[in-house]
Chain A
Protein backbone atom coordinates (compact mmCIF):
# COMPACT_ATOMS: atom_id res chain seq x y z
CA UNK A 1 0.00 0.00 0.00
CA UNK A 2 2.79 2.40 0.91
CA UNK A 3 4.63 1.66 -2.33
CA UNK A 4 1.53 2.41 -4.30
CA UNK A 5 1.08 5.75 -2.54
CA UNK A 6 4.73 6.63 -3.06
CA UNK A 7 4.31 5.93 -6.73
CA UNK A 8 1.35 8.32 -6.65
CA UNK A 9 3.51 10.92 -4.98
CA UNK A 10 6.09 10.60 -7.73
CA UNK A 11 3.33 11.15 -10.26
CA UNK A 12 2.32 14.29 -8.37
CA UNK A 13 5.91 15.45 -8.27
CA UNK A 14 6.05 14.91 -12.00
CA UNK A 15 3.26 17.49 -12.15
CA UNK A 16 5.64 19.91 -10.46
CA UNK A 17 8.38 19.22 -12.93
CA UNK A 18 6.87 21.71 -15.43
CA UNK A 19 8.43 24.47 -13.43
CA UNK A 20 11.47 22.71 -12.05
CA UNK A 21 14.52 22.66 -14.28
CA UNK A 22 16.77 20.88 -11.81
CA UNK A 23 17.47 17.18 -11.57
CA UNK A 24 16.38 16.61 -7.95
CA UNK A 25 14.73 13.32 -7.19
CA UNK A 26 13.34 13.93 -3.68
CA UNK A 27 9.79 15.20 -3.46
CA UNK A 28 10.72 18.14 -1.21
CA UNK A 29 13.49 19.34 -3.50
CA UNK A 30 11.25 19.02 -6.54
CA UNK A 31 8.59 21.04 -4.66
CA UNK A 32 11.08 23.70 -3.62
CA UNK A 33 12.58 24.03 -7.08
CA UNK A 34 9.11 24.32 -8.63
CA UNK A 35 8.15 27.02 -6.16
CA UNK A 36 11.39 28.95 -6.79
CA UNK A 37 10.85 28.66 -10.51
CA UNK A 38 7.32 30.03 -10.39
CA UNK A 39 8.45 32.72 -7.93
CA UNK A 40 10.83 34.05 -10.59
CA UNK A 41 7.91 34.68 -12.93
CA UNK A 42 5.81 36.69 -10.49
CA UNK A 43 5.32 40.39 -11.12
CA UNK A 44 6.49 42.65 -8.31
CA UNK A 45 2.96 43.60 -7.31
CA UNK A 46 1.58 40.02 -7.21
CA UNK A 47 0.85 40.22 -3.47
CA UNK A 48 -1.76 37.44 -3.34
CA UNK A 49 0.55 35.12 -5.24
CA UNK A 50 3.39 35.93 -2.86
CA UNK A 51 1.20 35.13 0.15
CA UNK A 52 0.25 31.82 -1.45
CA UNK A 53 3.93 31.27 -2.16
CA UNK A 54 4.75 31.84 1.53
CA UNK A 55 2.18 29.23 2.50
CA UNK A 56 3.59 26.88 -0.13
CA UNK A 57 7.09 27.34 1.26
CA UNK A 58 5.75 26.20 4.65
CA UNK A 59 4.28 23.13 3.01
CA UNK A 60 7.60 22.53 1.24
CA UNK A 61 9.44 22.58 4.59
CA UNK A 62 6.88 20.24 6.13
CA UNK A 63 7.30 17.96 3.11
CA UNK A 64 11.06 17.91 3.58
CA UNK A 65 10.67 17.02 7.23
CA UNK A 66 8.09 14.32 6.48
CA UNK A 67 10.24 12.95 3.67
CA UNK A 68 13.23 12.71 6.01
CA UNK A 69 11.07 10.79 8.46
CA UNK A 70 9.59 8.51 5.84
CA UNK A 71 9.82 9.21 2.13
CA UNK A 72 6.94 6.90 1.40
CA UNK A 73 4.58 7.94 4.21
CA UNK A 74 1.04 9.01 3.47
CA UNK A 75 1.78 12.41 4.99
CA UNK A 76 4.68 12.89 2.59
CA UNK A 77 2.44 12.05 -0.31
CA UNK A 78 -0.31 14.38 0.90
CA UNK A 79 2.15 17.24 1.42
CA UNK A 80 3.63 16.64 -2.01
CA UNK A 81 0.15 16.85 -3.53
CA UNK A 82 -0.53 20.04 -1.61
CA UNK A 83 2.73 21.50 -2.88
CA UNK A 84 1.72 20.67 -6.43
CA UNK A 85 -1.58 22.47 -5.96
CA UNK A 86 0.22 25.48 -4.45
CA UNK A 87 2.60 25.71 -7.36
CA UNK A 88 -0.34 25.87 -9.72
CA UNK A 89 -2.18 28.38 -7.53
CA UNK A 90 0.85 30.68 -7.33
CA UNK A 91 1.41 30.36 -11.04
CA UNK A 92 -2.22 31.20 -11.89
CA UNK A 93 -2.26 34.11 -9.45
CA UNK A 94 0.92 35.43 -10.99
CA UNK A 95 -0.55 35.17 -14.49
CA UNK A 96 -3.68 36.93 -13.27
CA UNK A 97 -1.64 39.78 -11.86
CA UNK A 98 0.40 39.97 -15.06
CA UNK A 99 -2.86 40.31 -17.02
CA UNK A 100 -4.12 42.89 -14.54
CA UNK A 101 -0.93 44.91 -14.99
CA UNK A 102 -1.23 44.61 -18.76
CA UNK A 103 -4.81 45.88 -18.56
CA UNK A 104 -3.71 48.79 -16.39
CA UNK A 105 -1.13 49.66 -19.05
CA UNK A 106 -3.75 49.38 -21.78
CA UNK A 107 -6.19 51.56 -19.84
CA UNK A 108 -3.44 54.16 -19.55
CA UNK A 109 -2.73 53.83 -23.28
CA UNK A 110 -6.44 54.19 -24.05
CA UNK A 111 -6.62 57.32 -21.94
CA UNK A 112 -3.58 58.75 -23.74
CA UNK A 113 -5.06 57.80 -27.11
CA UNK A 114 -8.36 59.44 -26.18
CA UNK A 115 -6.48 62.62 -25.30
CA UNK A 116 -4.59 62.44 -28.58
CA UNK A 117 -7.85 61.99 -30.52
CA UNK A 118 -9.42 64.91 -28.71
CA UNK A 119 -6.37 67.03 -29.47
CA UNK A 120 -6.43 66.06 -33.16
CA UNK A 121 -10.17 66.73 -33.39
CA UNK A 122 -9.54 70.13 -31.84
CA UNK A 123 -6.81 70.82 -34.37
CA UNK A 124 -9.10 69.74 -37.22
CA UNK A 125 -11.87 71.96 -35.91
CA UNK A 126 -9.66 74.97 -35.31
CA UNK A 127 -7.87 74.33 -38.59
CA UNK A 128 -11.13 74.29 -40.49
CA UNK A 129 -12.34 77.34 -38.65
CA UNK A 130 -9.05 79.00 -39.45
CA UNK A 131 -9.42 78.00 -43.08
CA UNK A 132 -12.94 79.36 -43.16
CA UNK A 133 -11.81 82.57 -41.53
CA UNK A 134 -8.98 82.91 -44.04
CA UNK A 135 -11.39 82.25 -46.88
CA UNK A 136 -13.91 84.73 -45.49
CA UNK A 137 -11.21 87.37 -45.07
CA UNK A 138 -10.07 86.77 -48.62
CA UNK A 139 -13.62 87.10 -49.93
CA UNK A 140 -14.15 90.26 -47.96
CA UNK A 141 -10.92 91.71 -49.30
CA UNK A 142 -11.99 90.81 -52.84
CA UNK A 143 -15.43 92.33 -52.27
CA UNK A 144 -13.82 95.46 -50.88
CA UNK A 145 -11.54 95.68 -53.91
CA UNK A 146 -14.46 95.14 -56.27
CA UNK A 147 -16.55 97.74 -54.50
CA UNK A 148 -13.71 100.25 -54.69
CA UNK A 149 -13.16 99.37 -58.34
CA UNK A 150 -16.86 99.68 -59.18
CA UNK A 151 -17.11 102.94 -57.25
CA UNK A 152 -14.09 104.32 -59.11
CA UNK A 153 -15.50 103.18 -62.44
CA UNK A 154 -18.90 104.66 -61.61
CA UNK A 155 -17.29 107.95 -60.60
CA UNK A 156 -15.21 107.95 -63.78
CA UNK A 157 -18.28 107.19 -65.89
CA UNK A 158 -20.26 109.88 -64.14
CA UNK A 159 -17.44 112.37 -64.67
CA UNK A 160 -17.14 111.34 -68.30
CA UNK A 161 -20.90 111.67 -68.78
CA UNK A 162 -20.87 115.01 -67.08
CA UNK A 163 -17.95 116.16 -69.20
CA UNK A 164 -19.64 114.79 -72.32
CA UNK A 165 -22.83 116.54 -71.30
CA UNK A 166 -20.96 119.74 -70.76
CA UNK A 167 -19.19 119.35 -74.09
CA UNK A 168 -22.50 118.59 -75.76
CA UNK A 169 -24.05 121.63 -74.13
CA UNK A 170 -21.08 123.73 -75.19
CA UNK A 171 -21.30 122.35 -78.69
CA UNK A 172 -25.02 122.94 -78.84
CA UNK A 173 -24.50 126.41 -77.55
CA UNK A 174 -21.71 127.05 -80.01
CA UNK A 175 -23.79 125.54 -82.79
CA UNK A 176 -26.78 127.63 -81.85
CA UNK A 177 -24.59 130.70 -81.76
CA UNK A 178 -23.06 129.72 -85.09
CA UNK A 179 -26.50 129.16 -86.58
CA UNK A 180 -27.72 132.43 -85.24
CA UNK A 181 -24.72 134.11 -86.80
CA UNK A 182 -25.35 132.22 -90.01
CA UNK A 183 -28.96 133.23 -89.99
CA UNK A 184 -27.87 136.79 -89.48
CA UNK A 185 -25.29 136.50 -92.25
CA UNK A 186 -27.87 135.01 -94.56
CA UNK A 187 -30.27 137.77 -93.64
CA UNK A 188 -27.63 140.38 -94.36
CA UNK A 189 -26.72 138.66 -97.60
CA UNK A 190 -30.39 138.46 -98.49
CA UNK A 191 -30.68 142.20 -98.05
CA UNK A 192 -27.73 142.75 -100.34
CA UNK A 193 -28.94 140.22 -102.92
CA UNK A 194 -32.36 141.81 -102.93
CA UNK A 195 -30.72 144.71 -104.72
CA UNK A 196 -30.39 142.34 -107.70
CA UNK A 197 -34.13 141.77 -107.70
CA UNK A 198 -35.55 142.55 -111.19
CA UNK A 199 -37.78 141.02 -113.81
CA UNK A 200 -34.96 138.77 -114.88
CA UNK A 201 -33.58 137.88 -111.45
CA UNK A 202 -35.90 136.72 -108.72
CA UNK A 203 -34.57 136.59 -105.16
CA UNK A 204 -36.33 134.32 -102.71
CA UNK A 205 -35.62 132.29 -99.62
CA UNK A 206 -36.65 128.82 -98.56
CA UNK A 207 -35.35 126.02 -96.37
CA UNK A 208 -32.46 125.39 -98.75
CA UNK A 209 -31.23 128.95 -98.48
CA UNK A 210 -31.35 132.07 -100.68
CA UNK A 211 -32.47 131.31 -104.21
CA UNK A 212 -31.44 133.56 -107.10
CA UNK A 213 -33.51 132.46 -110.04
CA UNK A 214 -32.09 133.88 -113.28
CA UNK A 215 -34.19 133.91 -116.45
CA UNK A 216 -32.88 132.27 -119.61
CA UNK A 217 -33.23 135.61 -121.30
CA UNK A 218 -29.88 136.34 -119.75
CA UNK A 219 -28.49 133.57 -122.01
CA UNK A 220 -28.35 133.48 -125.80
CA UNK A 221 -31.26 131.51 -127.31
CA UNK A 222 -30.64 127.80 -127.09
CA UNK A 223 -27.07 128.69 -126.14
CA UNK A 224 -25.15 128.57 -122.90
CA UNK A 225 -23.38 131.81 -123.48
CA UNK A 226 -23.89 134.41 -120.72
CA UNK A 227 -25.19 137.80 -121.80
CA UNK A 228 -23.58 140.97 -120.49
CA UNK A 229 -26.44 141.75 -118.09
CA UNK A 230 -26.11 138.36 -116.50
CA UNK A 231 -22.38 138.81 -116.12
CA UNK A 232 -22.96 142.12 -114.41
CA UNK A 233 -25.39 140.56 -111.97
CA UNK A 234 -23.12 137.56 -111.39
CA UNK A 235 -20.21 139.86 -110.69
CA UNK A 236 -22.27 141.50 -107.95
CA UNK A 237 -23.16 138.05 -106.60
CA UNK A 238 -19.46 137.16 -106.64
CA UNK A 239 -18.76 140.32 -104.67
CA UNK A 240 -21.27 139.32 -102.04
CA UNK A 241 -19.93 135.74 -101.97
CA UNK A 242 -16.41 137.01 -101.45
CA UNK A 243 -17.62 138.87 -98.38
CA UNK A 244 -19.50 135.90 -97.03
CA UNK A 245 -16.94 133.14 -97.21
CA UNK A 246 -19.28 130.84 -95.27
CA UNK A 247 -21.61 130.62 -98.24
CA UNK A 248 -21.60 127.73 -100.69
CA UNK A 249 -23.46 127.96 -103.98
CA UNK A 250 -25.25 125.23 -105.85
CA UNK A 251 -25.85 126.27 -109.50
CA UNK A 252 -28.79 124.45 -111.04
CA UNK A 253 -29.67 124.75 -114.77
CA UNK A 254 -33.33 124.16 -115.72
CA UNK A 255 -35.33 124.14 -119.00
CA UNK A 256 -38.94 123.91 -120.18
CA UNK A 257 -40.28 120.76 -121.81
CA UNK A 258 -39.82 121.81 -125.36
CA UNK A 259 -37.10 120.02 -127.28
CA UNK A 260 -35.55 116.72 -126.47
CA UNK A 261 -34.77 115.72 -122.96
CA UNK A 262 -31.14 115.11 -123.86
CA UNK A 263 -30.77 118.50 -125.42
CA UNK A 264 -32.39 120.20 -122.47
CA UNK A 265 -30.21 118.27 -120.02
CA UNK A 266 -27.07 119.18 -121.91
CA UNK A 267 -28.07 122.83 -122.29
CA UNK A 268 -28.96 123.18 -118.62
CA UNK A 269 -25.65 121.61 -117.58
CA UNK A 270 -23.65 123.92 -119.91
CA UNK A 271 -25.42 127.03 -118.60
CA UNK A 272 -24.81 125.93 -115.00
CA UNK A 273 -21.15 125.23 -115.82
CA UNK A 274 -20.74 128.58 -117.50
CA UNK A 275 -22.21 130.42 -114.52
CA UNK A 276 -19.88 128.51 -112.24
CA UNK A 277 -16.87 129.24 -114.41
CA UNK A 278 -17.73 132.91 -114.45
CA UNK A 279 -17.95 133.00 -110.68
CA UNK A 280 -14.59 131.24 -110.46
CA UNK A 281 -13.21 133.87 -112.83
CA UNK A 282 -14.56 136.43 -110.39
CA UNK A 283 -12.36 134.93 -107.64
CA UNK A 284 -14.78 132.56 -105.98
CA UNK A 285 -13.15 129.34 -104.82
CA UNK A 286 -14.40 126.48 -107.02
CA UNK A 287 -14.63 124.34 -103.85
CA UNK A 288 -17.58 126.44 -102.76
CA UNK A 289 -19.42 125.92 -106.04
CA UNK A 290 -21.29 123.02 -107.64
CA UNK A 291 -23.01 123.02 -111.02
CA UNK A 292 -25.56 120.57 -112.28
CA UNK A 293 -28.05 120.45 -115.18
CA UNK A 294 -31.53 119.36 -114.25
CA UNK A 295 -33.09 119.70 -117.69
CA UNK A 296 -36.86 119.70 -117.59
CA UNK A 297 -37.06 117.67 -114.37
CA UNK A 298 -37.63 120.51 -111.90
CA UNK A 299 -40.34 122.83 -113.34
CA UNK A 300 -41.63 125.62 -111.13
CA UNK A 301 -44.52 126.59 -113.45
CA UNK A 302 -46.95 125.10 -115.95
CA UNK A 303 -45.13 124.14 -119.15
CA UNK A 304 -48.43 124.25 -121.14
CA UNK A 305 -48.41 128.07 -121.16
CA UNK A 306 -45.94 130.45 -122.57
CA UNK A 307 -45.52 132.25 -119.25
CA UNK A 308 -45.03 128.97 -117.44
CA UNK A 309 -42.36 127.77 -119.88
CA UNK A 310 -40.62 131.17 -119.57
CA UNK A 311 -40.42 130.68 -115.75
CA UNK A 312 -39.15 127.15 -116.08
CA UNK A 313 -36.24 128.24 -118.33
CA UNK A 314 -33.86 129.49 -115.66
CA UNK A 315 -30.61 129.03 -113.77
CA UNK A 316 -30.97 128.92 -109.96
CA UNK A 317 -28.21 129.88 -107.61
CA UNK A 318 -28.95 128.24 -104.27
CA UNK A 319 -26.84 130.12 -101.76
CA UNK A 320 -26.46 128.54 -98.38
CA UNK A 321 -24.37 129.19 -95.30
CA UNK A 322 -22.16 126.21 -94.39
CA UNK A 323 -23.36 126.41 -90.79
CA UNK A 324 -26.94 125.95 -91.94
CA UNK A 325 -26.32 123.21 -94.48
CA UNK A 326 -26.88 120.38 -92.02
CA UNK A 327 -30.02 122.01 -90.77
CA UNK A 328 -31.33 122.55 -94.31
CA UNK A 329 -30.50 118.95 -95.33
CA UNK A 330 -32.27 117.73 -92.17
CA UNK A 331 -35.26 119.85 -93.08
CA UNK A 332 -35.18 118.44 -96.62
CA UNK A 333 -35.20 114.89 -95.27
Chain B
Protein backbone atom coordinates (compact mmCIF):
# COMPACT_ATOMS: atom_id res chain seq x y z
CA UNK B 1 0.00 0.00 0.00
CA UNK B 2 1.54 3.33 -0.99
CA UNK B 3 1.06 6.74 0.50
CA UNK B 4 -1.09 8.01 -2.37
CA UNK B 5 -3.51 5.11 -1.86
CA UNK B 6 -3.47 5.92 1.81
CA UNK B 7 -4.43 9.52 1.12
CA UNK B 8 -7.27 8.57 -1.17
CA UNK B 9 -8.55 6.11 1.39
CA UNK B 10 -8.75 8.96 3.90
CA UNK B 11 -11.92 10.09 2.24
CA UNK B 12 -13.63 7.45 4.30
CA UNK B 13 -12.99 9.65 7.34
CA UNK B 14 -15.65 12.03 6.05
CA UNK B 15 -17.92 9.48 7.62
CA UNK B 16 -16.18 10.33 10.88
CA UNK B 17 -18.59 10.06 13.77
CA UNK B 18 -21.52 8.90 11.66
CA UNK B 19 -20.92 5.20 11.86
CA UNK B 20 -22.95 3.43 14.45
CA UNK B 21 -22.97 -0.09 13.31
CA UNK B 22 -20.58 -3.00 13.10
CA UNK B 23 -19.87 -2.26 9.41
CA UNK B 24 -18.54 1.15 10.29
CA UNK B 25 -16.46 -0.33 13.11
CA UNK B 26 -14.95 -2.91 10.79
CA UNK B 27 -14.14 -0.30 8.14
CA UNK B 28 -12.47 2.07 10.60
CA UNK B 29 -10.51 -0.64 12.34
CA UNK B 30 -9.51 -2.15 9.01
CA UNK B 31 -8.25 1.20 7.73
CA UNK B 32 -6.34 1.85 10.95
CA UNK B 33 -4.72 -1.57 10.81
CA UNK B 34 -3.69 -1.16 7.16
CA UNK B 35 -2.27 2.29 7.88
CA UNK B 36 -0.37 0.74 10.77
CA UNK B 37 1.09 -1.78 8.29
CA UNK B 38 2.20 1.05 6.00
CA UNK B 39 3.75 2.84 8.99
CA UNK B 40 5.63 -0.34 9.88
CA UNK B 41 7.27 -0.22 6.44
CA UNK B 42 8.16 3.44 6.85
CA UNK B 43 10.80 5.03 9.03
CA UNK B 44 8.22 6.65 11.32
CA UNK B 45 8.90 8.32 14.65
CA UNK B 46 8.62 5.70 17.44
CA UNK B 47 6.78 8.00 19.87
CA UNK B 48 4.18 8.96 17.29
CA UNK B 49 3.76 5.33 16.26
CA UNK B 50 3.32 4.28 19.90
CA UNK B 51 0.55 6.81 20.42
CA UNK B 52 -1.23 5.65 17.27
CA UNK B 53 -0.89 2.04 18.29
CA UNK B 54 -2.29 2.78 21.76
CA UNK B 55 -5.34 4.39 20.17
CA UNK B 56 -5.73 1.42 17.82
CA UNK B 57 -5.54 -0.96 20.78
CA UNK B 58 -8.18 1.12 22.58
CA UNK B 59 -10.40 1.06 19.50
CA UNK B 60 -10.13 -2.71 19.26
CA UNK B 61 -10.95 -3.03 23.00
CA UNK B 62 -13.95 -0.71 22.66
CA UNK B 63 -15.17 -2.69 19.65
CA UNK B 64 -14.83 -5.91 21.61
CA UNK B 65 -16.92 -4.37 24.40
CA UNK B 66 -19.61 -3.38 21.90
CA UNK B 67 -18.91 0.30 22.25
CA UNK B 68 -19.07 0.79 18.51
CA UNK B 69 -19.26 4.55 18.22
CA UNK B 70 -16.26 5.10 20.50
CA UNK B 71 -14.36 2.35 18.72
CA UNK B 72 -14.87 4.07 15.34
CA UNK B 73 -13.75 7.43 16.71
CA UNK B 74 -10.65 5.92 18.33
CA UNK B 75 -9.76 3.87 15.20
CA UNK B 76 -10.11 6.93 12.97
CA UNK B 77 -7.92 8.87 15.36
CA UNK B 78 -5.29 6.14 15.20
CA UNK B 79 -5.42 6.25 11.41
CA UNK B 80 -4.80 10.01 11.40
CA UNK B 81 -1.92 9.64 13.85
CA UNK B 82 -0.33 6.94 11.73
CA UNK B 83 -0.80 9.04 8.59
CA UNK B 84 0.84 12.04 10.24
CA UNK B 85 3.75 9.87 11.31
CA UNK B 86 4.08 8.38 7.81
CA UNK B 87 3.90 11.76 6.03
CA UNK B 88 6.37 13.25 8.49
CA UNK B 89 8.81 10.39 7.83
CA UNK B 90 8.32 10.90 4.13
CA UNK B 91 8.96 14.64 4.51
CA UNK B 92 12.12 13.99 6.55
CA UNK B 93 13.36 11.48 3.99
CA UNK B 94 12.65 13.94 1.19
CA UNK B 95 14.52 16.61 3.10
CA UNK B 96 17.63 14.43 3.31
CA UNK B 97 17.44 13.63 -0.38
CA UNK B 98 16.99 17.32 -1.17
CA UNK B 99 20.06 18.21 0.88
CA UNK B 100 22.10 15.47 -0.83
CA UNK B 101 20.96 16.70 -4.23
CA UNK B 102 21.76 20.26 -3.26
CA UNK B 103 25.28 19.11 -2.36
CA UNK B 104 25.68 17.30 -5.67
CA UNK B 105 24.52 20.39 -7.51
CA UNK B 106 27.12 22.48 -5.69
CA UNK B 107 29.79 19.96 -6.67
CA UNK B 108 28.59 20.08 -10.27
CA UNK B 109 28.88 23.83 -10.25
CA UNK B 110 32.38 23.60 -8.79
CA UNK B 111 33.38 21.20 -11.58
CA UNK B 112 31.85 23.53 -14.12
CA UNK B 113 33.82 26.45 -12.67
CA UNK B 114 36.98 24.34 -12.75
CA UNK B 115 36.55 23.42 -16.40
CA UNK B 116 35.59 27.00 -17.22
CA UNK B 117 38.85 28.08 -15.61
CA UNK B 118 40.77 25.62 -17.72
CA UNK B 119 39.02 26.87 -20.83
CA UNK B 120 39.71 30.51 -19.97
CA UNK B 121 43.30 30.09 -18.86
CA UNK B 122 44.77 27.25 -20.90
CA UNK B 123 42.90 27.48 -24.16
CA UNK B 124 41.65 31.00 -24.69
CA UNK B 125 44.42 32.54 -22.63
CA UNK B 126 47.04 30.51 -24.49
CA UNK B 127 46.05 31.81 -27.91
Contacts and interface: CB of A to CB of B under 8 A. Distances in A.
Interface of A: 48, 51-52, 55, 58-59, 62, 66, 75, 78-79, 81-82, 85-86, 88-89, 92-93, 95-96, 99-100, 102-103, 106-107, 109-110, 113-114, 116-117, 120-121, 123-124, 127-128, 131
Contact of B80 (A62, A82, A123, A127): A82
Contacts of A62: 16-17
Contact of A89 (B11, B76, B87, B127): B87
The DSSP consensus for interface residues of chain A is helix
Interface residues of B, number: 42
Given A52-B7, A81-B77, A113-B108, 15 more contacts: A51-B11, A55-B14, A59-B13, A78-B73, A79-B16, A79-B17, A85-B84, A93-B91, A96-B94, A103-B101, A106-B98, A110-B101, A110-B104, A117-B111, A120-B115
Please list the 9 inter-chain residue pairs (A to B) with the smallest Cβ-Cβ separation, ordered nearest first. A127-B123, A85-B80, A113-B108, A96-B91, A99-B94, A120-B115, A92-B87, A48-B7, A58-B14
Given A88-B84, A124-B123, A103 B16 contact: no
Contacts of B111: 113, 117
Contacts of A79: 16-17
A99 B83 contact: no
B68 interface: no
8 contacts: A58-B14, A82-B80, A85-B84, A89-B84, A100-B94, A103-B97, A113-B111, A128-B122
A92 B95 CA distance: 11
